[in-house]
């Protein structure tokens, strides 16, 4: 890990850089995949699945029987844990429901917003050795609370053409309407354009490798919405002398184990803590099975010593971390001053893992500095707000002349006429 | 206008098609513009402004003196109307403020969201013969209520290098921090990448021609957020026998005058109304200065006769109109069943013009069917939601084992260790 002591403000921007993205190159590479799926549909999906996943799939749709079997193969201990997490995630997201509030903006002019579910959504769950069933929960639970009618899940099959039981169990539990065995950029294309088997959806959610991310960005150009752009995962721990070096080290390592591109940053005003965290990292690293990946991520991770809490705050808001852990004495005050972050963990007993799995908050969060402009996934992500307005005859009599003056100044005469005709009818009454 | 009577459901999809977009071609055309601005900054902006706007601009920034002069040149009648609109728009958007609600998802586990302003936003206002000062209000007012620190406005200069006084007045009134004389794709590139004069922003808002729209879509690939994708404007009027044919005609025309690509659709169960609306359109068209544009838009507009209200509702939710006017007897009931629309206008005395200018709702809305997945611009558009959580020692003792089981099942051992270390510290106490 790079150690930086008391950097000048001019250096800060450089210290917030992430692993370089070659997104543009990847975008060019996957254009043909999207075009092929758009044109040849299921046939293209079959060919890519054979090529990339090494398996020939006859039927992409996971059957009821496969789901039933999958659920039987999950241990009751894991089922219990998932059920507990579901309860908390549901509670947090249910509390995000929007309530209609009618506002009389002027006499007789009543306006309101109503939040309404996006009808068809597609969730992508990456494959790999470990089954990311927690991401199924994070996407399917708010989709189902929002009231989305069609919730489609795509995830790549293993070499035997199967989906991991824990994914099937999580999907079954949370109201997914169909599960398909297809992964990669081709899955994103299928959900964007539709195939004979896989329905086109209005919005696509979920993490993935750079191919999946590029595919999501590309389909937005054709009108499919996506949750947010994505980059490698990251954490910042802001810590002072009150922090526990062992806890801090374990939080940095739990970010680093995600992948070689992940980034873990410690920002502190305690030089002693930096030394202790280094010792702890070396010690804990020996216990970890993913040590190779983790070491690579640590290469572009940083321990940064700053002169006081104000500098720590300013640096944090500049970095805009996906995850931010506040291991400082006055964490509640500090939290109030955070303007750019995805999810914030307060105090010594709130590890990031809690939010990753079971506290109730969502773990699909803006990385790569996107927290400056994007929210993490939440109930809103599965809804759109429609505006309504109702104007009474008296209301229009008062507001009408204002509209006429403005429409005329913008040289939109028909806009003016739509009001004038109504006013003249009212005046005749 | 095309008249379609009692179309079969299979035909409906075809009836919801918009003017064909050649967005991909435009995207290829403007790539070099974006690359040039990114590399040569102000120098590229100068060259493009000379080429596209026909004027050599020395200083892009509008001076205090220019703003002062501009404000003097707006009639007091227009100022009065704008002030009234500002009051209503402010009232509606202020009522959209998010309140923090702490949720105890499990004992000792407290989670909440806080809505926080996006720090730097860029607003684009198109040029052209008429000054779109109303769009300044629609973007700058929520930006200022949200608390955005830097609110930059770009708009193309006229041939004399000036900005229309009404735009300067609206910008001055609503808290814009800097105004720049630059338009087109080059303005979007400037706000995305930053130049010597124009600061890079986190999110770009506002309408524009197909070049501006394509530029907005392209910069998202490099990480700048945008309000939403955009297409030509459109309206649907849903009307029954209770509707006033003159009002309906004027509403269709006020959409059609926006541009030759605009679309106006009437959906009704009254054959008589169709005939009356046709007569009214012919009559009103003669009074309109923009008749040529309007006629072109009417060529791909439609009057559709359906058999009952249920069909009208189903068609509407399929079409997902940007603007929807409900001129039906039971408009309040019908409004409850609308799932896909940008902004809905209820009853005979609520013309679209009201929402375009002065009722208080926002007029930056999803077109082209994007209402299926996107909201119009509202206060949320200028904010992101940050999640917070605080877990007590007791809370972690209860929730910790759940996290450990899940992390282990996902083979993320460091995630598990971040919890285990804390639990073992607590158990030693």
Which positions of A are annotated as active-site residues?
322-323
In this complex, the residue of A105, A229, A247 whose CB is nearest that of residue B360 is: A105
The residue whose two tokens read 């007569």 is B279
In the three-class reduction of DSSP (H, G, I as helix; E, B as strand; rest coil), residue A185 is classed as: helix
Specify the CATH superfamily of domain B23-230. Answer: Nitrogenase molybdenum iron protein domain (3.40.50.1980)
A300 is in an annotated binding site: no
β B109-117/B383-391 pair status? antiparallel
Which pLDDT tens digits describe chain A residue by residue (429 residues)?
A: 999 999 999 999 999 998 777 777 898 899 999 999 999 999 999 999 999 999 999 999 999 999 999 999 999 999 999 999 999 999 999 999 999 999 999 999 999 999 999 999 999 999 877 899 999 999 999 999 999 999 999 999 999 999 999 999 999 999 999 999 999 999 999 999 999 999 999 999 999 988 999 999 999 988 899 999 888 899 999 999 999 999 999 999 999 998 888 999 999 999 999 999 999 999 999 998 888 888 999 998 999 999 999 999 999 999 999 999 999 999 999 999 999 999 999 999 999 999 999 999 999 999 999 999 999 999 999 999 999 999 999 999 999 999 999 999 999 999 999 999 999 999 987
In the three-class reduction of DSSP (H, G, I as helix; E, B as strand; rest coil), residue A295 is classed as: helix
Which pLDDT value is given to residue B27?
Answer: 87
Measured in angstroms, the CA of B107 and the nearest CA of chain A are apart by 10
The residue whose two tokens read 């539709």 is A194
User: Could you say which residues from 31 to 70 on chain B have a Cβ atom under 8 Å away from some Cβ of chain A?
Assistant: none
Radius of gyration of chain B (CA): 25
Phi, psi of A318 (to 5 degrees): -75, -40
Which pLDDT value is given to residue A114?
Answer: 98
Which pLDDT value is given to residue A190?
Answer: 98
Measured in angstroms, the CA of A269 and the nearest CA of chain B are apart by 22
**pLDDT tens profile B73-109:** 999 999 999 999 999 999 999 999 999 999 999 999 9
Which pLDDT value is given to residue A157?
Answer: 97
Which pLDDT value is given to residue A130?
Answer: 82
Average pLDDT rounded to a whole number, residues B302-309: 98
From B182, B229, B176, select the one nearest B205 (Cα to Cα): B229
Find, in chain B, the residue whose alpha carbon is nearest to that of A104.
B92
Average pLDDT rounded to a whole number, residues B48-70: 96
Best residue in B127, B354, B368 to probe A by mutation, most A CBs within 10 Å?
Answer: B354
Which pLDDT value is given to residue A291?
Answer: 83
Measured in angstroms, the CA of B80 and the nearest CA of chain A are apart by 8
**Domain A2-19+232-360 carries which CATH code?**
3.40.50.1980
Which pLDDT value is given to residue A129?
Answer: 73
Strands, E assignment, B218-300: 225-226, 234-239, 263-268
Please tell me if residue B160 touches chain A, with a CB cutoff of 8 Å.
Answer: no
pLDDT at B223 over 80: yes
Tell me, what DSSP letter sits at residue A380?
A: G
Radius of gyration of chain A (CA): 25
> Is B24's CB within 8 Å of A221's CB?
yes
Domain definitions of chain B by residue range: 2-19+232-360, 23-230, 394-428
In this complex, the residue of B82, B349, B353 whose CB is nearest that of residue A415 is: B353
Average pLDDT rounded to a whole number, residues B356-383: 97
Tell me, what DSSP letter sits at residue A129?
A: S
User: What pTM value is reported for the model?
Assistant: 0.97
Average pLDDT rounded to a whole number, residues B190-208: 97
In this complex, the residue of B358, B366, B374 whose CB is nearest that of residue A402 is: B358
Tell me, what DSSP letter sits at residue B83?
A: H
Which pLDDT value is given to residue B340?
Answer: 98
A258 is in an annotated binding site: yes
| B5: its two tokens | 């009577």
B393 is in an annotated binding site: no
- B425 CB neighbours in chain A (<8 A) are 244, 246-247
Q: Give residues with Cβ within 8 angstroms of B180, minimum separation 6.
A: B60, B61, B62, B152, B153, B154, B155, B187, B190, B197, B198
* Residue A42: exposure state from Cβ atoms within 10 A (0-12, 13-18, ≥19): middle
Which pLDDT value is given to residue A113?
Answer: 98
Identical fold at A2-19+232-360 and A23-230? yes
Counting Cα atoms < 13 Å in the Cβ hemisphere of A383 gives 21
């Amino acid at each position: 890990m790079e150690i930086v002591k008391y950097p000048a403000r001019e250096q800060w921007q450089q210290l917030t850089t992430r692993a370089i993205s070659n997104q543009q190159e990847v975008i060019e590479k996957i254009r043909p995949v999207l075009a092929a799926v758009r044109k040849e549909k299921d046939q293209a999906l079959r060919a890519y699945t054979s090529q990339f996943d090494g398996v020939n799939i006859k039927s992409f749709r996971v059957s009821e029987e496969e789901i039933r079997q999958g659920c039987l193969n999950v241990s009751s201990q894991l089922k219990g844990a998932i059920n507990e997490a579901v309860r908390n995630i549901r509670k947090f997201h249910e509390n995000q429901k929007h309530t209609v509030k009618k506002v009389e903006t002027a006499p007789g002019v009543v306006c309101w917003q109503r939040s309404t579910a996006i009808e068809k959504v597609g969730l992508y769950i990456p494959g790999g050795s470990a089954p990311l069933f927690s991401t199924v929960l994070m996407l399917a639970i708010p989709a189902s609370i929002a009231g989305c009618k069609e919730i489609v899940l795509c995830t790549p099959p293993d070499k035997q053409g199967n989906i991991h039981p824990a994914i099937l169990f999580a999907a079954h539990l949370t109201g997914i309407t169909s599960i398909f065995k297809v992964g990669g950029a081709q899955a994103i294309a299928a959900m964007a354009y539709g195939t004979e088997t896989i329905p086109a959806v209005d919005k696509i959610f979920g993490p993935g490798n750079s191919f999946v991310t590029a595919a999501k960005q590309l389909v937005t150009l054709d009108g499919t919405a996506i949750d947010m752009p994505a980059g490698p995962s990251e954490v910042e721990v802001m810590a002072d002398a009150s922090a526990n070096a062992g806890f801090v080290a374990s939080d940095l390592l739990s970010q680093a184990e995600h992948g070689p591109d992940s980034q873990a940053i410690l920002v502190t005003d305690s030089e002693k803590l930096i030394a202790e965290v280094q010792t702890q990292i070396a010690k804990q690293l020996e216990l970890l099975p993913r040590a190779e990946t983790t070491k690579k991520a640590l290469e572009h991770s940083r321990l940064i010593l700053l002169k006081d809490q104000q500098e720590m705050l300013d640096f944090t808001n500049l970095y805009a971390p996906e995850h931010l852990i506040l291991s400082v004495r006055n964490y509640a005050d500090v939290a109030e001053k955070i303007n750019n972050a995805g999810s914030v963990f307060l105090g010594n007993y709130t590890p990031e893992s809690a939010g990753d799995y079971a506290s109730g908050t969502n773990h699909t969060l803006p990385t790569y500095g996107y927290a400056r402009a994007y929210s993490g996934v939440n109930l809103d992500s599965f809804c759109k707000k429609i505006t309504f307005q109702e104007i009474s005859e008296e209301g229009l009599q008062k507001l009408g002349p204002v509209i006429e003056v403005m429409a005329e100044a913008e040289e939109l005469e028909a806009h003016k006429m739509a009001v004038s005709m109504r006013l003249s009818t009212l005046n005749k009454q």
